[in-house]
A and B are shown apart, each in its own frame.
Chain A
């Protein structure tokens, strides 16, 4: 496959197998996947639960590796890159908020040990959190605030790509809206976003391009079609 200049990631014949939970033979979660993910705007990986969306996302910052095939970041196979440097360029927010013990400041400091309150304050503002929460114990934040703190923590590393693994699936409508708006602003500032979602309505709101993940295969889709099919 030829490297596309606009592709931030390219997957070539990527297969991932996982043990069958019922003890049967291994099953291919991703089966000979060949796709490119655009560097521009927000790409949504859409599909039903268990289709392999999260697995695909975790290949992109090398939290998982494929059983066969090649994943490229800006043309270079991930095997040839330092995984730690890759992860600082390709940040990730997980499905469930993952606060570390301590205050919001402690959390941000894990990502940026040398930064001060001034830098942390502007990070919090970028994710629509008031500066005052810096000294608060992270556990006292609401679900939506916590997930945005995790987003701020990821941004503290100054990534060029943001991977989002169903980050709003546990949130109410209002926090979801704030999160989506925040990410739209970040994408507008030039950050590449890869967003895993199973919510067709959300896809319509956030996606610039859509890749449908189903039965281990991945195909480009039009967002408008999804909204019509899954009103």
Chain B
């Protein structure tokens, strides 16, 4: 089953409905909705075009790896834009992305879950990096929020002679728990309420539902692993950066929540 260009154009009616609702309620979001829809369409078409090039049998797999590296860089830059109050986020986010990506790729390709090729590498890396990016921004903001809110308590612990890592521990643990819980809840509810994107796409594309489900299960675990490794790397890395080597708490500007 395929969707042709005319069909794609008709789906714009759905965007028009969203924009119309915004207009009717005076939300002022119609331009934003249209711009988001157009931008997403153009971006996806561009990526589709690049994928066509990458998937040609004569194209070296190195181009796909290069694409993955570019995604990592762009994701780190985006994380910086979305969490401006988090100190020196770029190197930390990059580390988190690389750890999450490497771990997942080693499991998936090393154990032969998927064959390694442009068709598998680019979308899977995209999935990991995309989820890792969201988790990074969330974890970064929560850490800065928590360390600003609990500044007095953390300093009281330092004043008792606790090393910074020990003083930070209860708060890091709280951040990790609250950052990971939504991901776990989503994983639990999968299949009962909503059919996730990868599976929906495969089934619409004509794949056998059971293979679609198996792919989806792998994807879900991938997303869970990506989110938890990134969150953990971010939280632990940041908790070090929020202290000086002589166990003082760094002063933070309260902009990370914006």
Contact = CB atoms under 8 A, between A and B. Distances in A.
A64 B153 contact: no
A128 B160 CA distance: 21
The 7 closest A-B pairs by CB, nearest first: A88-B161, A98-B156, A92-B159, A87-B161, A98-B152, A83-B246, A84-B161
Interface in B202-258: 246-249
A84 B159 contact: no
B159 A154 contact: yes
B163 A150 contact: no
19 contacts: A63-B158, A65-B248, A83-B246, A83-B248, A84-B163, A85-B161, A87-B159, A87-B161, A88-B161, A92-B159, A94-B152, A94-B155, A94-B156, A94-B159, A100-B153, A100-B156, A110-B157, A110-B162, A153-B160
A43 interface: no
Given A62-B246, A88-B161, A92-B156, 8 more contacts: A61-B159, A63-B249, A64-B248, A83-B247, A84-B161, A84-B247, A85-B161, A110-B160
Interface of B: 152-153, 155-163, 170, 246-249
Nearest to B253: A19
B155 A154 contact: no
A87 to B, nearest CB: 4
Interface of A: 61-65, 83-85, 87-88, 91-92, 94, 96, 98, 100-101, 110-111, 150, 153-154, 157
Contacts of A154: 159-160
Contact of A91 (B155, B159, B162, B249): B159
A154 B156 CA distance: 9
Contact of B156 (A65, A83, A84, A150): A150
Contacts of B160: 87-88, 91, 110-111, 153-154, 157
**For B152, B160, B163, B246, which residue has the most chain A Cβ atoms within 10 angstroms?**
B160
A92 B159 CA distance: 6
A96 B156 CA distance: 10
Residue of A62, A84, A87, A150 with highest tally of chain B CB at under 10 A = A84
Nearest to B152: A98
Contacts of A94: 152, 155-156, 159
Contacts of B247: 83-84
B161 A98 contact: no
Contacts of A84: 161-163, 247
Contacts of B246: 62, 65, 83
Given A62-B246, A87-B160, A101 B170 contact: yes
A215 to B, nearest CB: 23
A85 B161 CA distance: 7
A48 B229 CA distance: 49
